[in-house]
Structure 1
Amino acid sequence: MNADNVESYLRDNYDRRILLTYRTVKKFYLRTELVRLDIRFLKSCRAKDIIPKFLWFKTANRNLASSSAYKDSQRRLLNVEINYKYQHLNRLKKMYRYSASLLQQYCFGDLFERIQQIITTICCPIIKEKEETVERKLFGHSLCTQQRYYVERKVVKNLSARILLDDEIDCLANGLDYGLVSRRFDEMGAVGNIEQFSHHVPDIFQHHKKLMADLKDKDKVILNDIRVLNTMQMTLTSNLRSLTDTFQHQANRYRKQHYMVRGEQQQYYQLLKSLKQDKSIIVTRPDKGRGIVLVNKSDYLSKMNAILDDSTKFRCLFGDPTIQRERSLSNLLYRLKKNGHISQEFYNMTRPTGSNPERLYGLPKIHKENMPLRPVRSSIGTYNYGLAKVLKQMLSSIIQNEVIVKDTFAFVNELRSLPKSASKYKMVSFDITSLYTNIPVNETIDIILKHLYNDERPPPTIKKNDMKKLLEFVTEKSHFIFNGKIYDQVDGVSMGSPLAPLLAEIFLQEFEKKHLPLFDLMGIGYWKRYVDDNFVLLHPRVCPDYVCDQLSKCHASIKFTVAKEDVEANSITFLDALAQRQTGVGFKTKVYRKDTFPVHRAIKIYSTYLALHDEFDFIRELALKNGYPNVFVESVIQRKLNSIYAPRPTTPPTPDTDIIVLRIQYYGKPSQIYGKRVMAAVAKQYPLKKVQVVYDVKARIGQHFTTEDKIQTELKSSVVYEATCPLCNEKYVGKTCCHFQTRINEHLSDQKKAMSPTTNPSTTISNQHQSSNITIASKNSKATAQSSNQRTSLHKPSNLKSNIKKTNQLIKCKQSSKEGSYDKFTNK
């Protein structure tokens, strides 16, 4: 008899009373031990002044949740619960002792002792699992109630005239990416995400197109806004809707509890509101790192205007050319597609719709004197953004340069592979000053055209003149807005464009190819470059300043600065590495530590295990200061070491699966449960679909501050708009992916065409000065780029509201049996 066959053994060899009594003894023994663990958990909570989740209750007045009376009530309820558990435990003990004595009467010999051992063996795993659950709960509660983690105030650089309070510094020290508990649940965002997801999983759109084609062949018509779903699709959508409703309820409860319990969240919102209302300061991030910088707005504008006043690089425009340039590019792309010079896919990816001008902002270089600004342009959503991305893929084959290093890891491997004789050379770093803004655009375009059409390789299907026009669209005709003014960059490339790094690389490749013979004459024995940083080994007798001057004379647009190695340590920093040379021995590498430093970089950069051990100790200390548990930090280090030194064996290939992305608003555990349930629902209906969950934090500290210009209402795209007729009060709700002004002009044109020729012009003119109300619902800013990337839009005006009154309008109201019947509204 053992734990596996105890019941069958007792049934076959003994009286049935023994089997029934055995089951009763086992039941009460297990319940007794589990209640003991419950009491242990509750008493631990009472000792640490922790309130379990089941004692959190709602009140009519939400402010009572932070009162002392609410806390005292929870403590009293906790004591009552502990007393009840003790009473319940005593009852279970009596029942267990009674059933055990009864079983002992029925058993003979050592049967009773054997049965007790088997009961203990069977119940032991369940009790151990309960113990782990209790420990996990206590650990989780202790994390939620422990003191706020240490924040490093030095990451906040206050260069403004405002004197920050200690609470404001502590709030900002969390970083611009720090997530706050949202004060409201984004219902439209959640529904839009799951609606888009439900369309992508079963490919509803593709199935609908096929169905519509079949019905058309059979002379049957179904309205375009109706989707016909099969049984599997209906089941999936029904499950997703139910799961989303449950998630919304749980997320709201989580949000209310954490917003009220975590007092610093309410304080953070008040502090951020105060900082946002101060129009004399700019809150932004530094050029390098993840800190926070506060500067006077007047100083910020003066430094940015000093950059824009350079007439050789920038030109101020009198109007916004966005719509005109978008139309010109669209016409060129249409002609190229019509002539067969580009494919339909090329056309779809590059054709602009509803574009916005680039927006310029500056990032402070806090590590340099006088804190200059690095100009950065946000190019997402511009008319040439899609074209720049496609041209980047198309022109990437031009890059063939042996002096380029891919990253820090490649540089470290290159340095370690050098012969020992190379260690006698001096290490020097040459940096190119303002590389992107000094790239000669016309010269770079000529270099590209030479590679594409003069080399031995087959030329592209696009003609040379048309290719030049496309390149000009993404370089010379890239306008941007700053402080309400529109500018063109007449020379150089913008930092922020997808094509900018490639153009810089092509120009520097040609520069190095042309002047490579001069490097030997200058005493350069080794040259490696990462973007604008160059690592060089010079002959010991050569002066680095002399070489820097000679390099700066090679091209009028390129100027170099030099950083020499430390004379005592024979070391120099390059990228994330600290290179040290020992004459006749070779090179060693260590970490050049920045504010943030991942584990895998330490493993790959350090050349000695002792130094690696010291770096791990530093990472542990840094993580502890930032509130990370030691267990989590050790697991990350161990997992990364195992992936490098003990990789897993390769597994056989699995059938191809489609990856569908699901975006979920992050509200702690409810979001994680929701993601797992959605994945399970999809796996049940569509096993070859793989769901990749991405959690979004809707409220961050950085969202309260912006340095970019706002887009005018007329130039907004991907909007849902509502128009009300002032005569009959009928409403028209529409959505558009093009510019709002363009859509309004289209309405106006249609109205003029539909207007009766006998319409009195004076009546039309008088109607043009009547007031009207427009409500615009803007979609998520992340989804306003191109029509090919549009997310599901809901016909519910919200979020962004703009009342445009006393504007020119043209309204036509149909006269029918119902007074004031409304056709369409247009606004100009």
Structure 2
Amino acid sequence: MIQWIETLDSDPRGREFNSLATAVVHTAAQVCKNKKIFLKHLEKPSKHCGKEIGDKNASLCATGIYNYGKTALNTFRRTEKLSFRPKKLQRDIRFPNLCKNYDVTPRFVNFRVHNPLFTHTQTYRSWCRVLLNREITVQTKKETSPTVKLNDNISQLKTTLSSLDFICIFRIITNNVNNKLRRVDSIHNKKLLNLGINVQKKVNKDKVIFNFSDRILTEEQKGILSLGLDYCLPPTKATFHLFYLHFDKLCKNLKNCNIYKNSFNNVTYDITIIANTTFKKFSRQVKQTCDSEAILSPLKTLKNDKTILITKPDKGRGVVILNSCDYKQKILNILSDHTKFKRITTEVSTHLLYLEVKLKLLRIIKTSVNESTYNFLMTSGSIPGLLYGLPKVHKPNIPLRLIISSIGTFNYNTAKFLVPIISPLTTNQYKIENSTTFVNEITSLTFQQAITMVLRPYGRFTHCMYTPDVTLILLLMSHFMTLLMSHL
């Protein structure tokens, strides 16, 4: 701007405009300078802000807003308080609700009693819950009251100040309110942590939810899915007969103990009181600690969408969402490989009956095992294996890892019978349980010179050494399976 004015000064035709432009530049510079000083001290008001504007000790905050009068300053203060109050109120409602959901009693609802031991009774806790519910109700009624006053003060401030001043003032109000809210959150989190509730420990939704479908998830749906596929709602009620059955079994077992022979009636009386008290306490908590409808409603929406499929990843924990058509096409592509899969030509029920009949070869061991074991091995009413795929989210194009569930198949019980027989024979000095054990083993080893470990992969397995016992059992199993398959 200054260079442009100097250029006009050299041109005689621009000398008249030069004086006008110079005045505009100096005026703008002075306004910006005053505004900078005004905003700087308005963000950090001093303790003298309540004094009269004409006072020499008045803060620069009041002196800066002198052009708009003391009324504008009071409107600014009211707007800041009214902006902070509803957001503070939301946090004040959230705090007792969290205490209620986690079934803990905050200190502000505790009251003094004559006997301190009375604070551990159920009656005292029930009254604390009543006070906590009443506090939540009272705070909820206040939630909508400051909104109308806030809108009126914002409108008044907007009409009093210029557009630029209003934008700057409103930004300062927002910053001050956010700073206060951060302090409130810090205080509440500290109180909740003292009560055993850690609300700051949150799950990164994007790291546990892998959405490869065309559906766009809402934040509410992401929050529910981030809880995991194994998350379940707490029970709403206890079954009367199943609840008291455990206490009845306990009394029956104690009856056979000699130490309770003389005082058995007193023991059963105490157990009865504990059972009744526990059942009544659980019955009062029929309403779940969390809102079931808030959790079930987003899940029902996802369940009714037939275009998506929700499953778990191949490795690790998480939730994977795929298009149903893509999932089915990947499964069909894998099954189309005739070198690994073969289509049966008969009916499924006929084929299953054929396989069950072949298991009657196990009659030769009937004399070697007891009757219950023999009945366990002889299968009837079996089902075919269920095939499904788990997506490999760490690989491109999201391939599937096929898994066949053998539960309920014709040879499932036979395999289950052989596992405890073979497992002890596989335990030896060359076996490693898991990756953690492997790391501990190699870190504890010391070598005088560098060595190289080589694994020769063959399919999904590696060549390994077997002890003579393991080799013998594997040969026997191989011979047994060969004999069995020859008759199928």
- TM-score normalised over the length of structure 1: 0.31
Larger strand share, 1 or 2: 1
Task: Between the two structures, name the one with larger relative contact order (CA 8 Å, sep ≥ 6).
Answer: 1
